[in-house]
Chains A and B, each alone.
Chain A
Amino acid sequence: EADIYQTPRYLVIGTGKKITLECSQTMGHDKMYWYQQDPGMELHLIHYSYGVNSTEKGDLSSESTVSRIRTEHFPLTLESARPSHTSQYLCASSEAGLSLGYTFGSGTRLTVV
């Protein structure tokens, strides 16, 4: 079944730790995105990719990095977690060309203590 998966679902981590949030999709979508969202609030674009070896920064600088070595995989890394990074992180994907709607993953709820 085509879908988009995010792990972990929940994460509590100490300040200064390096973490990687995983995102994988089985739909063969070229475009992938990372959004940061406080519960029920506005979506802030952090990073996006239009294909393998393509990555761009979004509007929100969150001191994170991404990579796109394979079409299906788009991990997000925080080099040094801070309490201000506490939020929900949503991964999404869409087909190339005229956008036909994003498919979102279930998200990772990150708490930095």
Chain B
Amino acid sequence: GQQVMQIPQYQHVQEGEDFTTYCNSSTTLSNIQWYKQRPGGHPVFLIQLVKSGEVKKQKRLTFQFGEAKKNSSLHITATQTTDVGTYFCAGYQYNNNDMRFGAGTRLTVKP
């Protein structure tokens, strides 16, 4: 079955540094979604990527979907303390109607 691997598991950065989390699927995806979960909170949908090679930006966040639609990345430029939380990717396969979450990357930001 489909597996979604996410790295790194943890990332500690100084405020102002950049941050990237990577997501890799064992199979080709129909789309990939990204979620953010603040400490003590619940996952909140950030964005969905559908097209091969797609790049989307939300302020300091840049999301990419690989050409083969098997990998994705989330890059945060100049992190702020408000970026703290766990970032999850979730790969969706339309044919199987199957959504798989990665294990998440927990980001901490030192002021």
Q: Is A102 in contact with B92, judged by CB distance below 8 angstroms?
A: no
Question: Which DSSP category, helix, strand, loop or mixed, fits chain A's interface?
Answer: loop
Nearest A residue (CB) for B10: A40
> Which interface class (under 10, 10 to 19, 20 to 34, 35 or more) fits B?
20 to 34
Other-chain contact of A42, B39, B44, B103 (Cβ < 8 Å): B103
Residues from chain A with a CB closer than 8 A to the CB of B45 are 101-103
**With contact pairs A90-B43, A105-B42, A106-B42 given, residues A41 and B99 touching in the complex (Cβ less than 8 Å):** no
Interchain CA distance A44-B37 in the complex, whole Å = 15
Encode contact with A along B82-111: 1 for CB under 8 Å, 0 otherwise. 000010101010100101010110100000
Residues from chain A with a CB closer than 8 A to the CB of B86 are 40
Encode contact with A along B29-48: 1 for CB under 8 Å, 0 otherwise. 01101010101111111001
The total of chain A residues at the interface (CB under 8 A) is 18
Q: Is A40 in contact with B31, judged by CB distance below 8 angstroms?
A: no
Interchain CA distance A5-B66 in the complex, whole Å = 35
Interchain CA distance A107-B37 in the complex, whole Å = 12
Residue among B35, B41, B45, B90 facing the most chain A CB atoms (10 A cut-off) = B45
Q: Is A43 in contact with B43, judged by CB distance below 8 angstroms?
A: yes
**With contact pairs A41-B104, A42-B101, A106-B42 given, residues A101 and B30 touching in the complex (Cβ less than 8 Å):** no
> Interface of A with B (CB < 8 Å)?
39-43, 50, 90, 92, 98-107
Of the A-B pairs whose beta carbons lie under 8 Å apart in the complex, a sample of 23, sorted by A's number, is: A39-B40, A40-B37, A40-B39, A40-B104, A41-B103, A41-B104, A43-B43, A43-B88, A43-B101, A50-B97, A90-B42, A98-B94, A99-B31, A99-B33, A100-B48, A101-B33, A102-B43, A102-B45, A103-B45, A104-B42, A104-B44, A106-B42, A107-B42
